[in-house]
């Protein structure tokens, strides 16, 4: 990769002394230069973006700036998903830049994606000059207004003097409490205006004070409930991963002897090889997870928000359970599921406190019962010698990478097969759009993850539909030699939609045929990226090995069976015990 981090200490993420001193100088500089200096001071070494009239002062300030790395994507959606992938892979704040109007509106899907999954991103948009705001000027859009429902907070900067403070605040808000995207809209005249650069050291935002330390009494209540429970269950979500609480969760589960199910975003937050791990619950969750949910007497939700893809029909969800809910966002408690034991705080701190006094539940028989369900209905599929099965491809990737890769997915059947058949070992090793379910996310997010970890293996698994939503970012991989392994599970249809039409709409297949898709190998080659194709098991193994042995980016087109379905499946509007099991039936 040609882009390298020159100025930050890789180990600490902090700027080295000389550069920091240089950046902190109270020079009279433009808003654009303030922005770049502030970003560097926040420890940002890579941003993703796309220029245009309203951000030209900012791009001018980047010109020849050796400290600042900017990646030009081919679409603003690519930029924000890349920033998102960077943030999810590292836990740091991702940054992207776009111009006013169409540039800014092209970010909307990515902002909503990050918002739904609580990903810390700072989004910088340009706007028309202050004097033109509200006049329907060329390329004007009220981006702060448009994005209000999908940002944690936003700023329209009216005075260049406010800029350093606003950037500090934006980073603070994005990365603390329940994380999320923050937008800073900078009118063109503000990015041009000059003022003395005064870096704000301390920030205090009245009205923003996330509770991180839990109420001791609630933690005690939780532990008491654990001791009394005979069928306890932990539901661990993305909050565990974001809080870096994997170790604490492991300790808590082992001390209390409580089985663990992990949501899609929680995958990797608990080692999938552990005997207490039951699987993923929900629409395409395991039989054991869903059955455990429906039979537990104590459900402890940790950093999970009871999304309807997990609970399915709320009325009838976990009907016999007392519910404890640990979350840093108090508004999640009681939002969907009535809570008996609320516990507001940073998941890691809550678990640390709980671990000091945790005693085992009376769960031995229950663990045995769950083990029985796991044995009886493991995830499985009918393999085929004549056709390539998508599940086989995912299993192969899982086995060869041994859980050590960062895997990003797009949205659809392949996403669920990754969730089911890839064995996750580490937190932040799965990057996927859970809450919004954004097609087009998988590939550009892998670029961001790979920029953050140039030496790690990053595998991006996509459907042939979703890949075509951001395929143009192949140019970015090619030009910077970003070695993402781009897997396409090519079933020639919008697979997940086909599955719904087959099962729910009486097999009336309507507009799911992707005929007219490009030859993905040639498409890759047209961008100067290596392309490989496999249509059976042997070719699949060979192509995958070749991809792994290739130092740069590779597209591997796995042509799989068209009409494979994801099972188990719980249909919308039904409860978790009404699972379609596929081959078992």
Partner 1 sequence: MSANKHTISVLVNNQPGVLQRVSGLFGRRGFNIDSITVGASEEPGLSRMIIVTTGDENTLEQISKQLYKLIDVIKVNDLSSNPMVARELALIQINAEPKVRPEILGVVETFRASVVDIGPTTMIVQVVGDSDKIEAMVELLKPYGIRELSRTGVTAMIRGIVK
Ligand X SMILES: Cc1ncc(C[n+]2csc(CCOP(=O)(O)OP(=O)(O)O)c2C)c(N)n1
| Options 53, 129, 437, 582; binder of ligand X; rule CB under 6 A | 437
| Options 120, 463, 553, 568; binder of ligand X; rule CB under 6 A | 463
**Per CB under 6 A, does 411 bind ligand X?**
yes
The answer to whether residues 405 and 270 touch, using CB atoms and an 8 Å cutoff, is: no
Q: Among all residues, whose Cβ is closest to ligand X?
A: 463
496 binds, among partner 1, ligand X, none (CB under 5 to 8 A by kind): ligand X
Instruction: Name 300's bridge partners.
Output: 234, 324
**Per CB under 8 A, does 329 bind partner 1?**
yes
**Per CB under 8 A, does 144 bind partner 1?**
yes
Residues belonging to the active site? 76, 138-139, 188, 496
**Per CB under 8 A, does 334 bind partner 1?**
yes
DSSP result, 18-38: HHHHHHH---EEEHHHHHHHH
| Options 497, 521, 526, 548; binder of ligand X; rule CB under 6 A | 497
- Taking the least distance from each CB to ligand X, the nearer of 127 and 491 is 491
- Taking the least distance from each CB to partner 1, the nearer of 132 and 514 is 132
- Taking the least distance from each CB to partner 1, the nearer of 152 and 533 is 152
Q: How far apart are CA 325 and CA 341, in angstroms?
A: 6
Minimal distance, residue 149 CB to partner 1, in Å: 5
Q: How far apart are CA 129 and CA 56, in angstroms?
A: 12
Q: How far apart are CA 32 and CA 290, in angstroms?
A: 52
Instruction: Measure Cα distances from 491 to 146, 278, 488 in Å.
Output: 36, 29, 9
End-to-end CA gap in the chain: 50
The answer to whether residues 139 and 187 touch, using CB atoms and an 8 Å cutoff, is: no
| Options 168, 188, 414, 480; binder of ligand X; rule CB under 6 A | 414
Looking at residue 54, the DSSP 8-state letter turns out to be G
Q: In 454-553, where do the E strands start and end?
A: 458-463, 485-490, 530-534
7 binds, among ligand X, partner 1, none (CB under 5 to 8 A by kind): none
DSSP result, 232-280: EEEEE-HHHHHTT-HHHHHHHHHHHT--EEE-GGGTTSS-TTSTTEEE-
Looking only at the bridges linking them, the beta strands covering 458-463 and 406-409 are parallel
439 binds, among partner 1, ligand X, none (CB under 5 to 8 A by kind): ligand X
Please state, as a whole number, how many other Cβ atoms lie within 10 Å of the Cβ of residue 580: 15
**Per CB under 6 A, does 173 bind ligand X?**
no
395 binds, among partner 1, ligand X, none (CB under 5 to 8 A by kind): none
Minimal distance, residue 207 CB to partner 1, in Å: 4
DSSP result, 443-454: HHHHHHHHHH-T
Question: Which residue shows structure tokens 């999320």?
Answer: 180
Question: Segment 187-216, which members bind partner 1 (CB under 8 A)?
Answer: 205-208
Of 434, 566, 581, whose CA–CA distance to 491 is shortest?
A: 566
- Taking the least distance from each CB to partner 1, the nearer of 331 and 479 is 331
551 binds, among partner 1, ligand X, none (CB under 5 to 8 A by kind): none
Copy the structure tokens of residue 534: 């496999």
**Per CB under 8 A, does 156 bind partner 1?**
yes
**Per CB under 6 A, does 494 bind ligand X?**
yes
Minimal distance, residue 113 CB to partner 1, in Å: 17
Stretch that binds ligand X, among 24-32, 136-144, 410-418, 451-459 (CB under 6 A): 410-418
Site string for partner 1, 413-452 (x = CB under 8 A): ----------------------------------------
Q: How far is CA 458 from the centre of its chain?
A: 14
**Per CB under 6 A, does 483 bind ligand X?**
no
**Per CB under 8 A, does 511 bind partner 1?**
no
Dihedral sign from CA coordinates of 110, 116, 118, 124: positive
363 binds, among partner 1, ligand X, none (CB under 5 to 8 A by kind): none
**Per CB under 8 A, does 161 bind partner 1?**
no
Q: Which residues bind ligand X (CB under 6 A)?
A: 410-414, 437-440, 463-466, 489, 491, 494-497
Q: Which residues bind partner 1 (CB under 8 A)?
A: 144-145, 148-149, 152-154, 156, 173, 205-208, 329-331, 333-335
């Amino acid at each position: 990769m040609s882009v390298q981090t020159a100025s930050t200490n890789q180990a600490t993420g902090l700027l080295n002394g000389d550069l920091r001193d240089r950046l902190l100088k109270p020079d009279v500089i433009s808003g654009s230069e303030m922005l770049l200096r502030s970003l560097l001071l926040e420890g940002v070494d890579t941003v993703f973006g796309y220029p245009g009239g309203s951000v030209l002062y900012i791009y001018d300030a980047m010109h020849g700036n050796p400290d600042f790395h900017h990646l030009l994507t081919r679409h603003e959606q690519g930029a924000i998903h890349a920033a998102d992938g960077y943030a999810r892979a590292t836990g740091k704040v991702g940054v992207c830049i776009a111009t006013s109007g169409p540039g800014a509106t092209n970010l909307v899907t990515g902002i909503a994606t990050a918002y739904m999954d609580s990903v810390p991103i700072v989004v910088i948009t340009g706007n028309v000059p202050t004097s033109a705001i509200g006049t329907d000027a060329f390329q004007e859009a009220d981006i702060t207004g448009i994005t209000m429902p999908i940002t944690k907070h936003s700023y329209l900067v009216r005075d260049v003097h406010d800029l350093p403070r606003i950037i500090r605040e934006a980073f603070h808000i994005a990365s603390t409490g329940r994380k999320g995207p923050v937008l800073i809209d900078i009118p063109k005249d503000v990015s041009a205006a000059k003022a003395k650069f005064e870096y704000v050291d301390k920030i205090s935002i009245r009205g923003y004070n996330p509770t991180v330390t839990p109420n001791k009494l609630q933690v005690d209540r939780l532990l008491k409930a654990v001791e009394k429970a005979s069928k306890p269950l932990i539901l661990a979500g993305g909050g565990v991963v974001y809080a870096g609480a994997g170790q604490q969760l492991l300790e808590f589960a082992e001390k209390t002897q409580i089985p663990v199910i992990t949501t899609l975003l929680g995958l990797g937050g608990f080692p999938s090889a552990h005997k207490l791990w039951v699987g993923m619950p929900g629409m395409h969750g395991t039989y054991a997870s869903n059955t455990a949910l429906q039979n537990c007497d104590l459900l402890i939700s940790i950093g999970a928000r009871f999304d309807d893809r997990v609970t399915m029909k709320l009325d009838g969800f976990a009907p016999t359970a007392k519910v404890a809910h640990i979350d840093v966002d108090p508004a999640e408690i009681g939002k969907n599921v009535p809570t008996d034991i609320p516990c507001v705080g940073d998941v890691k701190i809550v678990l640390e406190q709980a671990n000091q006094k945790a005693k085992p539940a009376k769960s031995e028989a229950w663990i045995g019962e769950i083990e029985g369900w796991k044995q009886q209905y493991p995830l499985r599929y009918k393999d085929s010698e004549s056709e390539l099965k998508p599940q086989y491809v995912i299993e192969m990737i899982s086995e060869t990478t041994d859980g050590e890769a960062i895997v990003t997915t797009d949205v659809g059947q392949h996403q669920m097969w990754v969730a089911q058949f890839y064995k996750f070992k580490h937190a932040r090793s799965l990057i996927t759009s859970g809450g919004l379910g954004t097609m087009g996310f998988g590939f550009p997010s892998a670029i961001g993850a790979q920029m953050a970890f140039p030496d790690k293996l990053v595998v991006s698994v996509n459907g042939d539909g979703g890949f075509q939503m951001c395929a143009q970012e192949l140019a970015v991989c090619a030009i910077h030699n970003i070695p993402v392994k781009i897997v396409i599970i090519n079933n020639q249809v919008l697979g997940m939609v086909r599955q719904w039409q087959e099962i729910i709409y009486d097999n009336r297949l309507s507009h799911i045929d992707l005929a007219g898709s490009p030859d993905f190998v040639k498409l890759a080659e047209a961008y100067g990226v290596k392309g490989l194709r496999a249509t059976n098991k042997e070719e699949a193994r060979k192509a995958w090995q070749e991809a792994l042995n290739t130092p740069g980016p590779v597209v591997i087109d796995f042509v799989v069976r068209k009409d494979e379905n994801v099972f188990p499946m719980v249909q919308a509007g039904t409860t978790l015990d009404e699972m379609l099991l596929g081959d078992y039936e």
